[in-house]
Amino acid sequence: MDSGQWHVEKRSTLRNESFLKEYGPVSETGSLSIVVLGASGDLAKKKTFPALFNLYHQGFLNPDEVHIFGYARSKISDQELRDKIHGYLVDEKNASEKAEALSKFLQLIKYVSGPYDSEDGFKRLEKAISEHEISKKTSEGSSRRLFYLALPPSVYPPVCKMIKAWCTNTSDLGGWTRVVVEKPFGKDLESAEQLSSQIGALFDEPQIYRIDHYLGKELVQNMLVLRFANRFFLPLWNRDNIANVQIVFREDFGTEGRGGYFDEYGIIRDIIQNHLLQVLCLVAMEKPVSLKPEHIRDEKVKVLQSVMPIKDEEVVLGQYEGYRDDPTVPNDSNTPTFATTILRIDNERWEGVPFILKAGKAMSSKKADIRIQFKDVPGDIFKCQKQGRNEFVIRLQPSEAMYMKLTVKQPGLEMQTVQSELDLSYKQRYQDVPIPEAYERLILDTIKGDQQHFVRRDELKAAWEIFTPLLHRIGNGEVKSIPYKPGSRGPTEADQLLEKAGYLQTHGYIWIPPTL
């Protein structure tokens, strides 16, 4: 028996003895302990805790079962943590109607201070969790423990080691221990595999939830329904009809004080290798056998394994002017803040169709969308091809919508054509239906044990295999970043690359979100 196993079994015996002595019979429903590691950091207060509160307010977290623990190095009290996150949990406009729920939610939060690589802090954390479980009359092995690592990847291995040794469940009577890890999961194939091996040696794959919040977005989750529940898309979704696919992410601001951190990763690691590549999988994958998580993830892996090596001539990198003015950024930095790259999928459905992934900071607008551009209509009897091609656009953010760009007759006595759209805008169509934040959905999936919207280990490996050679060439200075002005579309070379790939831009047409 190793020392970690001895600790677990010894702790189990002591817990059962104290439980039976003080509380008698156990409850049939196991308690739920949610532990946010890195509780005093930005990610926790801006995303994790607000998502937990919204789940609680909507009734998805039972106050009779759940307790929330914050863990970090900061030496603060329970109340100081509550005060720290309070302002992020509700908007001013609905603060009064949520005041009672907010007060009760904050009382569910307990804070434990300690280092990430020392057993003392995790012993205190285990003690706090056990006290909660005992108070809920939870039998040993039926408790549920969720550990959310809102931490840098560098501390994942020691933290997971401490969780495994001191804070996991000891048996399986309907209970579980699950670990959620945030991106970036490694910096290249080698570091990602090393991290996967370290965590994989401690936890089984069904216990590990690699979160990519883009997979929790409403319109991304709609992709499989759109593709496989609508007959008219089935015969169109292939190389015979689709000219190109664009997946675009733009931000209208720069690194804003995060330059030093961002410079270690760049836009490809930060956005393209994970968020946009996950969207590509859903656009390009074949129909899964069922909606079981493993069947869906199997098809995503097949897509990634079919992606051909990226050619340097199909990549444009950019860096906005002023990026290096940040004192934390090296003066000779080649780190891209903008990238356009073309991926090509070598299979029967997509041969010859360029998938254009484009992301940038300090751009002219803020948006994320998927743009499916169809081929020209053969025999242009209306002489309208210059007005633009048919496009199916899925607007991920902001103003969630999907619309089909069509050529129609312009009203009037003349036979003139114009581009218009069939439009489904969510704010207009679903006025009384709140669209949940991605983190809410993904945390709830974790509690339910649904890994459909999380990244599997072989999926992560395949994603890094695509981009690692390019990232190494960028790191070696073989591919240079081109300067571009903040507030622009990025380098003009990127537009030239799109044109070379066969994308035809529509001039004169602008989609305007409908007003309520």
The CATH number linked to 171 is 3.40.50.720
- Check pLDDT > 80 for residue 21: no
**For the domain that residue 462 is a member of, what is the CATH number?**
3.30.360.10
Which string of DSSP letters, residue by residue, matches 421-461? EEEEEHHHHTTTSPPPPHHHHHHHHHHHT--TTEE-HHHHH
Considering only residues 375 and 22, tell me which one the structure prediction assigns the higher pLDDT. Answer: 375
Does residue 176 sit in the same domain as residue 225?
no
Q: What per-residue confidence (pLDDT) applies to 9?
A: 44
Summarize pLDDT for 430-464 with one digit per residue, the tens: 777 777 889 999 999 999 999 999 999 999 999 99
Helices (H), 307-456: 426-429, 438-448
Number of neighbours of residue 80 by Cβ within 10 angstroms: 12
Residue 275 appears among annotated catalytic residues:
yes
152 in the same domain as 268: no
Q: Which of the following is catalytic: 275, 295, 453, 507?
A: 275
Cα–Cα distance list, 125 to 120, 138, 147, 171 (Å)? 9, 17, 11, 19
Helix (H) or strand (E) holding 5: helix 3-23
Same-domain pairing of 282 and 354? yes
Give residue 511's pLDDT band: very low, low, confident or very high (50, 70, 90).
low
Q: CA distances (Å), 183 to each of 41, 120, 153, 214, 460, in order?
A: 15, 27, 8, 11, 11
Of the CA atoms within 13 Å of residue 55, those in its CB half-sphere come to 25
266 and 356 co-located in one domain: yes
Report the distance separating Cα 58 and Cα 444, nearest Å: 12
- Confidence check: pLDDT of 20 > 50: no
Same domain for 139 and 222: no
Q: What is the mean pLDDT of residues 336-354?
A: 97
pLDDT at 509: 67
With CA atoms as reference, report the closest residue to 13 among 1, 2, 21, 23.
Answer: 21
119-135 and 3-23 helices, crossing angle to 10° = 30
Q: What residues contact 107, with CB distance under 8 A and at least 6 apart?
A: none
Instruction: Please state, in angstroms and rounded to a whole number, the distance separating the CA atoms of residues 274 and 456.
Output: 12
> Could you tell me if 220 and 162 lie in one domain?
no
Q: pLDDT band at 410, cuts 50/70/90?
A: confident
CA Rg, the chain, in Å?
25
**Count of the separate structural domains present in the chain:** 2
What are the pLDDT digits (tens) for 110-167?
999 999 998 999 999 999 999 998 888 888 778 899 999 999 888 999 999 999 999 9
Strand intervals (E) in 196-353: 208-211, 242-250, 315-320, 338-344
**Residue 128 vs residue 24, higher pLDDT:** 128
Share of the chain above pLDDT 70, in %: 91
pLDDT-derived band at 492, boundaries 50, 70, 90: very high
Mean pLDDT of 487-513: 85
* Domain assignment present for 164: yes
Is the pLDDT assigned to residue 191 strictly greater than 70?
A: yes
User: pLDDT higher for 398 or 345?
Assistant: 345
> Which residues lie closer than 8 Å to 454 by C-beta, 6 or more apart?
209, 210, 211, 212, 215, 442, 445, 446
Out of 204-208, 261-265, 383-387, pick the least confident.
383-387
In this structure, the answer to whether residues 222 and 109 fall within a common structural domain is: no
- At residue 99, the pLDDT reads 85
Whether residue 254 is found in the same domain as residue 362: yes
Q: How many CA atoms lie within 13 A of 417 on its CB side?
A: 15
Residue-level pLDDT at 505: 81
Written as one letter, the residue type at 470 is L
Question: Region 417-430: what's the mean pLDDT?
Answer: 77
Q: Which domain, by its residues, includes 173?
A: 32-182
Task: Identify whether the C-beta of residue 152 lies closer than 8 Å to the C-beta of residue 260.
Answer: no
Cis peptide before 184 (omega within 30 of 0): yes
Q: What is the mean pLDDT of the chain?
A: 88
Query: Are residues 337 and 420 part of one domain?
Result: yes
Q: What is the pTM of this model?
A: 0.89
Within a domain: 111: yes
